[in-house]
Amino acid sequence: MSGYPLLRSPLPAAGSAANVVSAISQRSALGQPTLSFEFFPPKDEAGADSLWKNYDKLLEVSPDFVSVTYGAGGSNRETSLAVVDRMAKDVLTIGHLTCVGSSFDGSREIIKHFEQAGVRAILALRGDSPQNDPDALSKGQLKTALELVELVRAESPLEVGVAAFPEVHPESPHLQHDAEVLNLKQQAGASYAMTQLFFTVEAYQDLVAAASLAGANLPIIPGVMPISNAAKVLRMAEMSGAAVPKQLLARLQNASEDEARIIGMDYSIELSTKLLEAGAPGLHIFSLNFSKAALEVARGCGLA
């Protein structure tokens, strides 16, 4: 992180905590939430240029950590690992890892790669079979994120986190089931969770309450999707099964593109502010490899 101004951070060096849980503890001791960003591996050279420009801008607001997605099936394995390698030199970096199509040995190799690259945390995910290969999950050896948590714990000192679903995972019968699965993951060694996108503070609060009832008291960091491109975010919401509040949906659908951006971003900032007021340990902003909207959310709720 040296070379980047520390705009918000009284910590010795933001992004330098030993892992995600210690970053949360250090911030919490100062009465502050964490700020972090998710990135994905670029698909081409233009995407890479844009990623690194926006990453540099986001580093200026001293994120506590960043995370890098990993394609289910490992299709973008090399690019994902290359992005992780570079970010891990600057800031506490979480490498996502998925089960779909994975063998135990292949996953062990990536875990070792993360260790050698200086990655300090893994986000253990199942992933989803791609539409063009609906049996992909059954072809691999690892079948659930829980198995991946167990593998990381058995093989590595790296911290391991998991996904959580305020709007209930699409294959799950109800929130309580998700909460019980989260508890199993905590028992297997997961020490933090990050959520899928969602649109109401109540959904987050219900998840935290259900998790606690099931025995899972690990920190659950809300994932926030800035609604800067309403059409794109509504598509993602549909894919992930997240319900968009009717009033917000109507306002977005009846607005021009420019108006929809204003409505969407105001909503994202308000939601983020309410989440922090409700006691969320931090915000993990899905940057989609852009910086403008992510910074607007971070600044709008006082984190940058």
Ligand X SMILES: Cc1cc2nc3c(=O)[nH]c(=O)nc-3n(C[C@H](O)[C@H](O)[C@H](O)COP(=O)(O)OP(=O)(O)OC[C@H]3O[C@@H](n4cnc5c(N)ncnc54)[C@H](O)[C@@H]3O)c2cc1C
Catalytically active residues are 38
> Which has the closest alpha carbon to 225: 179, 275, 178, 177?
275
Tokens, residue 173: 């019968």
Smallest distance from the beta carbon of 250 to ligand X, in angstroms? 27
Single-letter residue type at 66: V
C-alpha 79/C-alpha 69 separation (Å) is 10
Tokens, residue 199: 């649109």
Binding footprint of ligand X on the chain (CB under 6 A): 69-72, 96, 98, 123, 125-128, 144-146, 163, 169, 171-172, 177-178, 181, 184, 194-196, 223
Pick the closer one to ligand X by CB: 81 or 163: 163
Single-letter residue type at 269: I
Smallest distance from the beta carbon of 253 to ligand X, in angstroms? 26
Smallest distance from the beta carbon of 139 to ligand X, in angstroms? 15
SS3 content of the chain, % helix, strand, coil (to 5): 45, 15, 40
Q: Do β-strands 93-98 and 65-68 pair in parallel, antiparallel, or remain unpaired? A: parallel
**For the residues of 151-217, what is the DSSP string, one character each?**
HHHHH--SEEEEEE-TT--TT-S-HHHHHHHHHHHHHTT--EEEEPP-S-HHHHHHHHHHHHHHT--
Pick the closer one to ligand X by CB: 260 or 294: 294
Residue 54, SS3 per DSSP: helix
Smallest distance from the beta carbon of 199 to ligand X, in angstroms? 14
Smallest distance from the beta carbon of 82 to ligand X, in angstroms? 15
Q: How far are the Cα atoms of 44, 48, 49, 83 from residue 131, in angstroms, in the given order?
A: 22, 26, 29, 26
> Which has the closest alpha carbon to 120: 146, 100, 95, 137?
95
Pick the closer one to ligand X by CB: 156 or 172: 172
Pick the closer one to ligand X by CB: 260 or 283: 283
